[in-house]
Amino acid sequence: MDNLAPPKPGARPASSFVYDKAFVNGEWVAASSGKTFEVVNPANGKVIGSVPDMDATDTERAIKVAYKAFQSWKETTAKERSTLLRKWANLVNENIEELSKLLTSEMGKPLAEAKGEITYGGGFLELFAEECKRVEGDIIQTPVKSRRLLVLKQPIGVSGMITPWNFPNAMITRKAGAAIAAGCTVVLKPAEDTPYSALALCDLAKEAGIPAGVLNVVTSSRNNAGQVGKTICESPLVTKMSFTGSTAVGKLLLQQCASTVKKVSLELGGNAPFIVFESADVDAAVQGVMGAKFRCSGQTCVCANRIFVHESIYDEFVQKMAVVVEKDLKLGDGIDPGTTQGPLINKKAVEKIEAHVQDAVSKGAKVVCGGKSKGGNFFEPTILTEVTNEMRCSREEIFGPIAGIIRFKTEEEVVGLANATSSGLAGYFYSRDFSQIWRVAERLESGLVGVNEGVISTPDAPFGGWKESGLGSEGGRYGIEEYLEIKYVCMGGLQ
């Protein structure tokens, strides 16, 4: 690994977390084929290392291992699981600096954002260490004196998971932390771009004492990803599937899971509106949109995708936002001090953003700042004005640093436009009209709503989308419910 400063005293160096093996049954293992694939730093194109390119055969083995481990893990007490999860969380927090450097090297986000993600990820482990002790059943009032009606909650079983590259630490802890807390075992495929953060978590889970077979990570290249995912979805030994990624892939996985009627959690694409009403504090709204739009270089599913600004403050908002973009955003390698905008994940992502800008300009949009690629995987933070609903950047998930700003006149108009999408993950708006705040918060068709806030994710709150943005919720006290089954027990013959 390059450009990494020495670790602080007592912490492990980031390079010690770079494994060239996958993690199955508590051991570091190669692919049965012996094949590997390279992992590249998106900021400089340098190879970080290589990991096993596993296939269906390797995945089936991991599933069998997880199924065997489940038979004993499900019998552990909540207190036992809580203690191990707490140890795991503590180890993550102790190594936050080095885990952050590792994450930045394989994903590209600025080091400060990487530290934020590791803290966020550790927060899920802490949360579920507590929530597993709060899983409770119920006693239902009986209509028959000789019966007692009980409700039990029990772990669902082996849980398959596929996680994305944009949050390679936190999306794993949010899923696997909940599953393990519930008493389930895990078979997880991390994104091919960012396997090292997943393997680092395995290392720390093992150190924390989480038993062999409870957490298993199968690495694969893009070429083998399809068969690995299909194997997880169609295996009768896997009873739960959780996926975060594109809507198209989510739909395919849902179809594959239908053959065994799995319980499925999906967190899919977004097309988040960000609305600035005429009563808004414009300066606060500008700061809010900076976090909602340009965090992770615009590569999050909850990023502001369509920015609606009331016509009475449109010009003021654009002017102030342009000043902040030019002043506060610095493009560069995420490991370098002062960088706020790292690279996009790969060249294909850059080409997509270039196409969005070209499409918008050809249809009448104006480039206020940015608008160009800067070599390699870098693209300038970009503001587009006079954006309309006919442009691709209004209709498609951008997943990059383009802020397209749209005028609107009335609340009714803008809420209608905000909801005119098949996505329903996140929505944001700024207003100081108390009645309007209640109206719009209730009318937005999305699972997450930020009111006068641009960054709203926290381990303590549920995270899930409406419409084609997903199924189920992760995080908070609701997250563990996704990995539990409800069992009704009728006790009869009582005197």
Q: Report the greatest alpha carbon distance in the chain.
A: 81
- Which residues are the active-site residues? 267, 301
| Residue 385 amino acid letter | T
Long-range contacts formed by 283-287: CB under 8 A, 24+ apart = 283/320, 284/430, 284/452, 285/317, 285/430, 286/317, 286/320, 286/321, 286/324, 287/324, 287/454
Task: Classify 264 as helix, strand or coil.
Answer: strand
Q: How far apart are CA 181 and CA 134, in angstroms?
A: 11
User: Residue ranges of the alpha helices (H) in 108-246?
Assistant: 111-131, 170-182, 195-208, 222-234
Contact (Cβ atoms closer than 8 angstroms) between residue 250 and residue 266: yes
Q: Tell me 141's DSSP state.
A: P
Q: Tell me 391's DSSP state.
A: S
Q: How far apart are CA 125 and CA 170, in angstroms?
A: 10
Q: Phi and psi at residue 435, in whole multiples of 5°? A: -65, -40
Place of tokens 């990487």: 114
Cβ-based neighbours of 152, under 8 Å, separated by 6 or more: 137, 486, 487, 488, 489
